[in-house]
């Protein structure tokens, strides 16, 4: 790899440029008009403006990025997360241009990005998926029969529905018999198709994901992260490893993730997402993310492995440098996503000019950010300002250090979520890891009512 | 006729349609009620509806579809009364 083009912006572009520089690889930044003076633009050895400020006219324009690669002599492209990172056609276009895509092949991105195809891969690898009927069920008796297999409670879903519409949860056979006909009739009216299918409903679900690295012939895991603290399906706080699963579950889940990667001959860093039933400890495959993730630093802090550097080495054709036994974990790491949003105004995004900023640091605190003093938060991109990542010898130490680090975080000029995250890090239920994917929103709703 | 300026409270990109395949929320000459949406402003990947703020007739759009707007910038004019 002679020169790496980073097809992204913000903190992840900065992160990737730093990893490349650590390895002695020259970098090319691409940037929109608004990012002409951005940190990633200035840190790279070369910078190319690829279009106007909106991402749809710059960071999402594959041709502009490929042209920039050609003009600057870059021979590899790192897509980061978001933008074009999981667009199979972009990975293929990079390869067709004779360049190296830092990530899996377009065909693997396509397969793992398709929910149905990914579930089939999971089944072939012996990885559990959410129990349910593969297609529609014929009438109420067939539904009752199917529910005996999946177990209650079950979710009754309209085959033609989507976006949460046409879904009903029933807790026993009697309510299933009562609900089926009506749900099917409603689906017929709403979607023109009354076909219903069944899926196990997990009431207290935890989101746990396994970090993997593959070189195409072998794969290893780097343990798991838990990302159950979410708001509107967006992760807010993530930690490594999960405080909510047993050692037995950890063993089974990480083995399943590695098996899945072997099944597809996975190359690069990836994440295998699971839903964990907090009551039974059962886990089910949901999907695979074929890119580096926002929360990857937590894994780095507990394993001591630079995931982006490993992505670059694998893309350059090197085999995995670790066997599974080489990979150990130590202590606990937690990441907080500090966003330019106003928690007192229903998390309204607040771009604008900033003044003085204080970014936390000190022992076992890492802050990945693109933000600089006297800079501007542009309105065009996502609201992530910084990731505050802390390490502790154990989870309690990591939480105590979180409170210290988040207290230090200040940005003059715009509201941020740092104060709210600081409050969250002191909550007893967070300390006890007594949460599931709905807990944070419940807490926010209760907090709003009492204030 | 009294003129009411519809103002975007936030900076971002102004859209006249709910999605690229749909017709605009309102056209010149459309009758609107005060809580009726006349546009969207996208800021940091989230979309915010801009209500007319007064009942009447839309007589002018001051910014085009996909134009950038500042906080407090008028985007349309409604004639009331």
Residues of A with CB under 8 A from a CB of B: 53-54, 340-341, 348-349, 351-352, 379-383
- Could you say which of A291, A395, A401, A422 is catalytic? A291
Contact between A383 and B12 using a beta-carbon 8 Å cutoff: no
pLDDT range class, residue A450, cuts 50, 70, 90 = confident
Checking DSSP bridges between strand A4-6 and strand A27-32, what pairing results, if any? parallel
Tens-digit pLDDT profile for residues A25-65: 999 999 999 999 999 999 999 999 999 998 999 999 999 99
User: Which of these ranges, A11-25, A151-165, A234-248, A429-443, has the smallest mean pLDDT?
Assistant: A151-165
Active site residue A291: yes
Check CB contact of B46 with chain A, cutoff 8 Å: yes
Across the interface, of A341, A379, A383, the residue whose CB is closest to B11 is A379
Residues of chain B with C-beta less than 8 angstroms from the C-beta of A381 = 44-45
Q: What percent of chain B is modeled with pLDDT above 90?
A: 73
Contact A252, A86 (CB under 8 A): no
* Nearest Cα to Cα of residue A47 among A60, A20, A65, A25: A65
Cα A419 from Cα A124, distance rounded (Å) = 46
Contact between B13 and A381 using a beta-carbon 8 Å cutoff: no
Mean pLDDT value across residues A272-297: 95
Tens-digit pLDDT profile for residues A80-114: 999 999 999 999 999 999 999 999 999 999 999 88
Which is more confidently placed, A297 or B20?
A297
Q: Is A196 helix (H, G, I), strand (E, B) or coil?
A: strand
Contact A449, A392 (CB under 8 A): no
Strands of the sheet with A4-6, listed across from one edge: A46-51, A27-32, A4-6, A76-78, A100-101
Q: Can you give the pLDDT at residue A149?
A: 87
Q: Which neighbouring-strand residues pair with A215? A: A267
Cα A419 from Cα A399, distance rounded (Å) = 15
Report the complex ipTM: 0.78
Mean pLDDT value across residues A232-247: 96
Check CB contact of B14 with chain A, cutoff 8 Å: no
Q: Can you give the pLDDT at residue A451?
A: 75
Contact between B45 and A54 using a beta-carbon 8 Å cutoff: no
pLDDT range class, residue A118, cuts 50, 70, 90 = confident
pLDDT range class, residue B42, cuts 50, 70, 90 = very high
Measure CA of the first residue to CA of the last residue in chain B; give whole Å. Answer: 7
Structure-block tokens of residue A208: 């746990």
Which is more confidently placed, A118 or A14?
A14
Contact between B45 and A379 using a beta-carbon 8 Å cutoff: no
Cα A235 from Cα A222, distance rounded (Å) = 20
Check CB contact of B43 with chain A, cutoff 8 Å: yes
In chain A, which residue's Cα lies nearest the Cα of B12?
Answer: A379
Check CB contact of B20 with chain A, cutoff 8 Å: no
Mean pLDDT value across residues A372-386: 95
Contact A216, A267 (CB under 8 A): yes
Q: Can you give the pLDDT at residue A398?
A: 98
pLDDT range class, residue A256, cuts 50, 70, 90 = very high
Residues of chain B with C-beta less than 8 angstroms from the C-beta of A349 = 10, 43-46
Check CB contact of B67 with chain A, cutoff 8 Å: no
Tens-digit pLDDT profile for residues B11-40: 889 999 988 888 999 999 999 999 999 999
Contact between B45 and A340 using a beta-carbon 8 Å cutoff: no
Contact between A380 and B11 using a beta-carbon 8 Å cutoff: no
The answer to whether residue A375 scores a pLDDT higher than 80 is yes
Number of A to B CB contacts under 8 A, please give it.
Answer: 31
Q: Can you give the pLDDT at residue A163?
A: 56
Contact A58, A73 (CB under 8 A): no
Check CB contact of B10 with chain A, cutoff 8 Å: yes
Contact between B43 and A351 using a beta-carbon 8 Å cutoff: yes
Tens-digit pLDDT profile for residues A152-202: 999 988 877 765 666 789 999 999 998 988 888 888 887 888 888 888 999
């Amino acid at each position: 790899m002679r020169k790496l083009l980073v097809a992204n912006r913000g903190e992840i572009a900065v992160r990737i440029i730093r990893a490349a520089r650590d390895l002695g690889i020259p970098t090319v930044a691409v940037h929109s008009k608004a990012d002409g003076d951005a940190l990633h633009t200035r840190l790279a050895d070369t910078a190319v403006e690829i279009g106007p400020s909106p991402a749809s006219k710059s960071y999402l324009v594959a041709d502009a990025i490929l042209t920039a690669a050609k003009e600057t002599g870059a021979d590899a492209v790192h897509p980061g997360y978001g933008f074009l990172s999981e667009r199979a056609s972009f990975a293929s276009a990079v390869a067709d241009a004779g360049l190296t895509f830092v990530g899996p092949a377009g065909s693997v991105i396509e397969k793992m990005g398709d929910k149905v195809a990914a579930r089939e891969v999971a089944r072939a690898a012996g990885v559990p998926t959410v129990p349910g009927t593969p297609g529609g069920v014929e009438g109420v008796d067939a539904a009752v029969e199917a529910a005996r297999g999946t177990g209650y409670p079950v979710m009754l879903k309209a085959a033609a529905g989507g976006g949460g519409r046409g879904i009903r949860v029933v807790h026993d056979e009697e309510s299933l018999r009562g609900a089926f006909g009506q749900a099917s009739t409603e689906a017929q009216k709403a979607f023109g198709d009354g076909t219903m299918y069944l899926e196990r409903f997990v009431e207290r679900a935890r989101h746990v994901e396994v970090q993997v690295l593959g070189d195409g012939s072998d794969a290893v895991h780097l343990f798991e992260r838990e990302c159950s603290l979410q708001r509107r399906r967006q992760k807010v706080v993530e930690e490594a490893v999960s405080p909510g699963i047993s050692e037995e579950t950890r063993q089974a889940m990480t083995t399943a993730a590695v098996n899945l990667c072997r099944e597809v001959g996975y190359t690069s860093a990836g994440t295998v997402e699971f839903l964990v039933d907090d009551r039974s400890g059962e886990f089910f495959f949901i999907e695979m993310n074929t890119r580096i993730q926002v929360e990857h630093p937590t894994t780095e802090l507990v394993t001591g492995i630079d995931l982006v550097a490993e992505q670059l080495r694998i893309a350059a054709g090197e085999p995995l440098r670790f066997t599974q036994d080489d990979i150990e974990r130590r202590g606990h790491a937690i990441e907080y996503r500090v966003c330019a949003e106003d928690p007192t105004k229903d998390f309204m995004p607040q771009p604008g000019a900033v003044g003085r900023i204080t970014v936390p640091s000190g022992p076992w605190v890492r802050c990945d950010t693109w933000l600089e003093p006297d800079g501007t938060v542009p309105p065009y991109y996502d609201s992530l300002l910084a990731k505050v990542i802390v390490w502790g010898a154990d989870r309690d130490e990591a939480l105590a250090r979180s409170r210290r680090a988040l207290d230090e975080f200040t940005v003059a000029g715009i509201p941020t979520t740092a104060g709210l995250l600081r409050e969250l890090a002191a909550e007893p239920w967070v300390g006890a890891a007594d949460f599931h994917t709905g807990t944070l929103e419940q807490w926010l709703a209760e907090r709003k009512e009492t204030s | 006729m009294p003129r009411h300026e519809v103002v975007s409270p936030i900076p971002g990109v102004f859209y006249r349609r709910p999605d690229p395949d749909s017709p605009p929320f309102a056209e010149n000459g459309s009758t609107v009620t005060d809580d009726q949406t006349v546009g969207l402003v996208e800021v940091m990947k989230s979309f915010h509806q801009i209500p007319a703020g007064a009942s009447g007739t839309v007589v002018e759009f001051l910014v085009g579809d996909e134009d950038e707007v500042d906080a407090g910038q008028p985007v349309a004019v409604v004639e009331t009364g």
